[in-house]
Structure 1
């Protein structure tokens, strides 16, 4: 499972160096800064909850035994993939940093899964999660500000023709001018944010600050922040896309969003519009996007995620015009790993105490 916040090795090394006291002292600040959502009811009210005695840790979390132990001194932490884990998995109460069918099948007592990524589709699609009503929490909102900056970089890069100039620089070519209409401004233009959640709201905030009109869609209702002029439901996507100059996908991957960006939707968009995807490649019908770019149905695209991924050599997307591709790195940052560490530690303390959890995933909705 890919870590959207940092690659696993970097994530581990940064978090190992984090101060336990600093994490404890700033947990409240992290919750406030990122707008983390607290569950309505304490976890002790859930059927099957009990004070955890054993927790399985995997991925970077497996290297954080000291930090985790300080948050829950009475818990025994077991590292995934070890002989000890195999012998004790049946009595594990929760897992941190791992979610796979094999672990859930062997760990019949597992009641809570703490993911270290924002994306949850690979986990919540496991039948046991829903069948056993397992609590799932994740890193929603934590990478939102960083990913939003990546969206702005892609949008401005396309608007100012950097997708043309940067390759030309590498070849030592001086291109004095782009084709007429290719260099554009974003001030006064309209951005549509598809999926107005934590990341989408951060994108919208920055677009508004650049003087753009921002519209959005969301599945849960029509409410939104003041800097979004209109929030529509998911069935309004075609209409809103036809009115936008930039369409940004920040929606989670669910059965409802699989392949929603297809030939029909690209045909609705303005021929001068840009499409940016930093969510999931599976939301896009890749062949339709290639056609839309080659046929100039849309003006360009910025992709941090693709389908397939990694994008193999020779794939048609590599040669599509007016396209910026980055390799699923929009959450990379120099900020370090304090925020995700604090979320894991705080949720661990809350779970052990039976308190209200942070960043609870709606398993039925898939995000």
Structure 2
């Protein structure tokens, strides 16, 4: 429940049967009692009080414009007047204004569907309350902000000495890792693991994907995993804290492909005016409606589930695969196991790849998969680079085995792929949002509290699987 101003509450519409609209009667009271502008404005705004319903949105807009004109001539701004009066509207939940730092531990877990570890950290080898923690500060914030960020963490761990660093090189140069028991935000790649001291028992990554930590395959990956296991080092990620931003970004790419926004943007640049129903600009894969589309989510984890929820809300049929079970939310029509991926791809109009990079998923999306897709279908990947066979993808696009490709990450030097038609890319920015850093530190603080109390950690990584 949040506070809303008189005007904001008043401008909510009530839908009546058919196309008719009528204005909330509160706007009459708001304007009449707060601004004292008399019956003319009331008549312009609320005709239905006199028994004359506004039967079309066009008439409604004309009257609103007239009302705005009256307000302007009178030199009165309704926004200012109404903002002085705040009223409570039950059930109006403004998601954007919610402060996640105020959530209880239980509500926090539920809000983001976070995973708790199976075992409390106090029952794991080598656990002890932390004394010194090295924290990487956000690189895009002024260094002076470190005091506020560290104080936020200190609220849950007042006895811990927090050492702020700019990055791993700064930490190594200053020698602060030698006697630390934990690191926050520095990651868990080979350079970090090789630099930490012998007392480190917990690494809290600042990333969602940890492929750089484990390198998925090869001798270096095996060496990393052995070090982490032998020293009983726990690794946790911020998975799910950015899923809303990533899902919305992914969905934007998806809708841009479906709507041919890349085609229209190029024609705008070329000063070509045309409609997709004409021969000049016709594309056989455009002009579709969402309710006629099927989305296949490959990897029905938290991110895939959120993308599926958005697709279902717009009327799409959603099907999915997952590696461990057939369970899924009600809005997913069918959940198959990973070996059903090819059969399901043949049903899909959009394929969304959200699998983690593991030895089992490296090169998963290859020509065999693209040939299983419809020629009219789009492939959208938010997964790490290793899960896609990029040469096969280029061949599939050039031979029109698939209709198009969208991604937030691709080989940065493969300009042939950049320049192919029906390719929409963004430079690994899907998790960027004004909430990003705050969400990160809210998660850090809660996991820090859990570690100090010996409770179950959130988003603990299975070192063998890499996620």
Which of 416, 422, 441 lines up with 1:316 in the alignment?
416
Contact (CA 8 Å) 2:157, 2:448: kept in 1 or not? Answer: yes
2:192 equivalent in structure 1: 103
Instruction: Give the SS at the match of 1:145.
Output: helix
1:37 matched to which residue of 2?
A: 115
Q: Is the 8 A contact 2:153 2:441 kept in 1?
A: no
What CA distance in whole angstroms lies between the structure 2 residues aligned with 1:180 and 1:361?
Answer: 45
TM-score, normalised with respect to structure 1: 0.87
> Which residue is equivalent to 2:52?
none
- Matched residue, 1:352: 452
Tell me the equivalent position of 2:130: 52
Deviations 1:296-352 (A, max 9, x none): 00011111111x2xx23x611122111111111112223453322211001111111
1:102-156 superposed Cα distances (whole Å, 9 cap, x missing partner)? 4323422211111111111212343322343321111111111222222221222
Q: Does 1:25 align with 2:128?
A: no
Distance 2:172 2:397 in 1: 53
CA distance, structure 1, for counterparts of residue 137 and residue 440 of structure 2: 13
Show the 5 A alignment for 1:121-200: 121-124=211-214, 125=221, 126-127=224-225, 128-177=227-276, 178-183=281-286, 184-200=288-304
**In structure 2, distance between residues paired with 1:193 and 1:103:** 34
- Native 8 Å contact 1:38 1:359 kept in 2: yes
Distance 2:274 2:230 in 1: 59
Deviation per CA, 1:182-235: give whole Å up to 9, x if none.
Answer: 212221321110111110110111111121111111112111111111111212
Q: Give distance in 1, aligned partners of 2:377 and 2:389.
A: 18
Residues of 2 paired with 1:281 and 1:83: CA distance? 29
1:289 shift after superposition: 0.9
Matched-pair contact (CA < 8 Å) for 1:27–1:343: no
Which structure has the larger Rg over C-alpha atoms?
A: 2
- Pairing 1:278–2:366 present: no
State how many pairs are aligned. Answer: 342
TM-score, length of structure 2 as denominator length: 0.69
Q: 1:90 aligns to what SS in structure 2? A: coil
Number of the residue aligned with 2:12:
none
TM-aligned CA distance change 1:55 to 1:211, over 3 Å? same
Within 5 Å, which residues of 2 pair with 1:210-359?
210-306=314-410, 308=411, 311-312=412-413, 315-335=415-435, 337-359=437-459
- Please list the CA deviations of residues 27-84 of structure 1 after superposition, one character each: whole Å capped at 9, or x if unmatched: 5443322111222321111111011111122252993322223321211222444478
* Closer/same/farther in 2, CA of residues 156 and 219 from structure 1, 3 Å limit: same
SS of aligned partner of 1:243: coil
Structure 2 regions of 5+ residues with no counterpart?
1-98, 215-220
Check whether the contact 2:363–2:386 (CA below 8 A) recurs between aligned residues: yes
Partner Cα separation in structure 1 for residue 408 and residue 323 of structure 2: 23
* Counterpart residue number, 1:4: none
Given that 2:134 and 2:176 are in contact with CA atoms closer than 8 Å, whether structure 1 keeps it comes out as no
Return the alpha-carbon distance in structure 1 between the equivalents of residues 260 and 254 of structure 2: 10
Partners of 2:374 and 2:402 within 8 A in 1: yes
Q: Give yes or no for contact 2:100–2:108 (8 Å, CA) kept in 1.
A: no
Asked if structure 1 preserves the Cα contact closer than 8 Å seen for 2:242 and 2:436, the reply is: no
* Secondary structure in 1 matching 2:238: coil
Correspondence for 2:179: 91
Deviates most, 64-73 or 273-282: 64-73
Pairwise CA RMSD of aligned residues?
A: 2.1
- Contact 2:138-2:437 at 8 Å conserved across structures: no
Query: What is the CA-CA distance between 1:96 and the residue it aligns to?
Result: 0.6
Rounded to whole Å, the distance in 1 between the matches of 2:307 and 2:351 is: 11
Name the residue aligned to 1:117.
Answer: 207
Name stretches of at least 5 consecutive residues in structure 1 with no aligned partner: 1-21
Residues 30 and 339, structure 1, Cα contact 8 Å, conserved in 2:
no
